[in-house]
A = this chain, B = another copy of it.
Amino acid sequence: MPRVRAHNFSVSLDGFGTGQGLSLDAPFGHAGMRLHEWFFPTETFQARAVGRERMDVDPSTAPDDAFASQQGRGIGVEIMGAGKYGPPGWQDDPDWRGWWGEEPPFHTPVIVLTHRPRDPLPVGETTFHFLDAPPIEALAAARDLAGGRDIHIGGGPTMLRDFLAEGLVDHAHIAVVPILLGRGVRLWDGLEALEARYDIASVTTPSGTTHLTLDRKVA
- Contacts from A to B (Cβ < 8 Å): 13-15, 176, 178-183, 186, 188-195, 200-204, 208, 210, 212
A189 to chain B, nearest CB (A): 8
Task: Given A178-B202, A195-B180, A202-B178, decide whether A13 and B188 contact each other with a Cβ distance below 8 A.
Answer: yes
Number of copies: 2
What 16 new A-B contacts, CB under 8 Å, besides A180-B194, A183-B192?
A: A13-B188, A14-B188, A15-B188, A176-B210, A178-B202, A180-B192, A180-B195, A181-B192, A182-B190, A182-B191, A182-B192, A182-B193, A201-B208, A202-B204, A203-B204, A204-B210
Is B180's CB under 8 angstroms from A188's CB? Answer: yes
The CA-CA distance from A202 to B211 in the complex, in Å, is: 11
Instruction: Name the prevailing secondary structure of the A interface residues.
Output: loop
The CA-CA distance from A14 to B200 in the complex, in Å, is: 13
The CA-CA distance from A79 to B188 in the complex, in Å, is: 31
Is A13's CB under 8 angstroms from B200's CB? Answer: yes
The CA-CA distance from A193 to B30 in the complex, in Å, is: 11
Central interface residue in A15, A180, A181, by most chain B CB within 10 Å: A180
The CA-CA distance from A15 to B12 in the complex, in Å, is: 11
